Structure 1
């Protein structure tokens, strides 16, 4: 019988090999790899507690694990259906890697279905509320206000993820009249070029000319577009706080629930409401599958239905 310590060491080495594969060969982001590491650490702990080696895992074991993470019966915090599905995806990917590497013959997680979860519609805010948010971000005379307005204008104008925005370098911006665009690097370092609207261009030019040099003077020089007061690249956390503070200052309903993804969802929803083709929006958002983008069409259809019911004299006939 394999000693528990040895069994655990073997499992964790196999996990590390998979994480290295994701990082080096698949080009996954550090955040994605960190999430996989957390999920697989929990899974390995579950296997260790039952004295199971890699070859002992069956489909039933994986199914029981999914139940354990949903209920917290493994002694850890229970996970929502979406988080449990993400954890199962990490487990399935690891076992598939182990099969490909010849460590085992079959993937016991391949046939395990993720827990069902209700289809969550993206949350968007109205164009009026977006305008209030942007105005609040730029309120005041300080250099930070100019930066904050430029940041939020860019997020809403391009549908960029918050990580894509803070990772922008000066060379990723093209503000040439008639060619205004930004180069974004999404999940898996996938590159896309997105047009930038005139309001965002104006806000960016004001920031780059008037206030970014002030931030640069406080640091050692960096190609980052968005900087903090020390002249270093603005962090995701700081950018998130810019949005949260602006939402609160604007007095938006549910300000505590507004996130950078809210602007991304609003960008997509407003485009589709204006008649944009769903595949065009897919490209702008950097979605690998149009199915993900089609969630936004449900939001738009619901909005149209509500207007119809309220306005058409025969809608309730």
Structure 2
């Protein structure tokens, strides 16, 4: 059965139209959903949902949510009407997402409250992410084998001098690659009372083949104590390779330009492209150091070394999760113990 506009009505709505008694009963109970209620697109509704959140529209959390919506949810589901976002559509979308099982699960977790709000607003009858047929992929269970100190030192020595700071910040502070590439001199408080601190405020990421500044992963800024060994390495790096001002758009190509003095830049004073670094600097260095160029031996291995050092030093799992920015202490426990 079609509406006058030619669009097919949801099955539940067809039953209601053909059964006036049932329609009246659902209206009395407050559970009636209008046949036209689901005519708003997921993108339009999620825009209003995002605007209604308690955090400000320019906060790190808001910009990270918008980025995830724009990159992972809107391209496939954004143009669909809310009534068209069925369990089978959701499961197909999850299956087609790129990335790890845990990242797919995060995207499904983001979609769920949006559809939940649509239910609360009376636009759809149920949150289809809760359907039995919608299943989030389970992350593979494997233990991480952190690099020993000797392997970190060998990798560092094999890198060109300009890029050795990547090993210092990754293994000494647990910073992600994008966070290292986005670190500015103003993010370092050398003389802070109680000890020097590094503020993790941004990362460099690639959107549509363009580099942009963006909030740290998950939109969560954090502070990391700066140990003397890393402070000395950082000071030596800045003396040899002075910070250079770099301007990149915020969050997406065409976004508001942001200029900061980056700790690590290319030889011509530009932001370092992670793909170029991985291909022309990191992988050759692994080969020189005798380390296989595998997925487990990316720059993330430096974070694993950092976490393992803290764990063996007696730091409890919950505190350990906060240092590298893990959102789930359980992940830290499963990965390193």
Alignment length, in residue pairs?
A: 274
Q: 1:54 aligns with which of 38, 57, 82?
A: 82
Aligned equivalents of 1:80, 1:235: Cα separation in 2: 22
Instruction: Find the aligned partners of 1:277 and 1:234 in 2 and give their Cα distance.
Output: 35
The SS at the match of 2:183 is: coil
Of the candidates 244, 260, 268, which is equivalent to residue 283 of structure 2? 244
The answer for the alignment partner of 1:134 in structure 2 is: 156
Partner of 1:10: 41
- Could you list the per-position Cα deviations for residues 70-90 of structure 1 after superposition, in whole angstroms to 9, with x for gaps in the alignment? 76xxxx689875454344324
Q: Deviation of residue 267 (structure 1)?
A: 1.1
Provide the alpha-carbon RMSD of the alignment: 3.8
**1:180 corresponds to 2:196:** yes
Instruction: Say which of 48, 57, 62 aligns to 1:24.
Output: 57
1:78 and 1:151 map into 2 onto residues whose CA distance is: 27
* Structure 2 Cα separation of the partners of residues 131 and 78 of structure 1: 33
The normalised TM-score by structure 2 is 0.65
For residues 212-265 of structure 1, give each alpha carbon's deviation from its aligned partner in whole angstroms, at most 9, with x where no partner exists.
Answer: 26x569xxx842222222323334445545433422332213456422222112
Q: Does 1:68 align with 2:92?
A: yes
Pair 1:207 & 2:234 matched: no
From the superposition, tell whether residues 36 and 273 of structure 1 become closer, same or farther in structure 2 (CA, over 3 Å): same
- 3-state SS of 1:149 partner: helix
Counterpart of 2:312 in structure 1 is 273
Gaps of 5+ in 2: 9-35, 202-215, 247-258
Structure 1 gap ranges (5+): 138-144, 299-317
The structural deviation recorded for 1:95 is 0.8
Q: Kindly tell me: are residues 70 and 296 of structure 1, through their superposed partners in 2, closer, same or farther at Cα, counting changes over 3 Å?
A: closer
Q: Kindly state the Cα deviation for residue 288 of structure 1 after the two structures are TM-superposed.
A: 3.3
Q: Following TM superposition, by how much is the alpha carbon of 1:133 offset from its aligned partner in structure 2, in angstroms?
A: 0.7
Aligned with 2:198: secondary structure? strand
Alignment partner of 2:112 out of 70, 85, 92: 92
Aligned to 2:72: 39
2:245–2:262 Cα contact (<8 Å) kept: no
Does the 8 Å contact 1:159/1:285 carry over to 2?
yes
What SS is found at the alignment partner of 2:199?
A: strand
Give SS of 1:109's match. Answer: helix
SS in structure 1 opposite 2:321?
Answer: helix
Q: Deviations over 1:165-214 (max 9, x none)?
A: 2222212113449833311134454332212334322221111112226x
Q: Deviations over 1:105-142 (max 9, x none)?
A: 542223544234432434522222111111112xxxxx
- SS in structure 1 opposite 2:224? strand
CA–CA distance in structure 2, aligned partners of residues 29 and 121 of structure 1: 33
C-alpha distance 228-200 of structure 1, shift in aligned 2 (>3 A): same
Which residue is 1:289 aligned to? 328
Greater mean deviation of Cα atoms: 231-240 or 14-23:
14-23
| Match among 162, 169, 173 for residue 147 of structure 1 | 162
Deviations 1:249-299 (A, max 9, x none): 32213456422222112211232133332233122122333222212332x
Secondary structure of the residue that 1:285 maps to in structure 2? coil
Instruction: Decide which structure has greater strand share.
Output: 2
Contact preservation (8 Å) 2:90, 2:129:
no
Q: Compared with structure 1, are the counterparts of its residues 8 and 261 closer, same or farther at alpha carbon in structure 2 (3 Å cutoff)?
A: farther
Q: 1:37 to 1:161 in 2, by over 3 A?
A: same
For the residue of structure 2 that corresponds to 1:168, the secondary structure is coil
Cα distance in 1 for residues equivalent to 2:98 and 2:222? 37
